[in-house]
Structure 1
């Protein structure tokens, strides 16, 4: 992902988050947040929401951001860390 692509996705996520009543906060973490991203880096995002069920059960909500993101979210490997879900 290029810096321009990361900025465009961050902007789209920000607009989307402001339109979701249950989304309380959005954070970019990982290599892009540390300014250490490489061309093969992904964009790590934390969505703080209440309630969480809509956002953690399936990846359909990611479809406005492109099929490649929705596919990743619905892939096997869902992990629960107390109140946090990956």
Structure 2
């Protein structure tokens, strides 16, 4: 895949949530998990892209874990 689709779809002028808001826990917030599946290179590149977009810090993702498909890994972010 090319990265060109990111520039076209991310034209919002306001941030939906800051990283400080996302790391604070409050009783009324539900925990969610974001999972990325793919090759090691694909997962790492996606994590770096999401970091550059301000979505999450690189160290907030789990280490690369094997998935049920051969040659595929996954990484999990819990918010």
More helix per residue: 1
TM-score category (smaller protein): 0.3 to 0.5
State the structure with bigger RCO (CA 8 A, min sep 6), 1 or 2. Answer: 2
TM-score, normalised relative to structure 2? 0.34
Larger-gyration structure (1/2): 2
TM-score, normalised relative to structure 1? 0.32
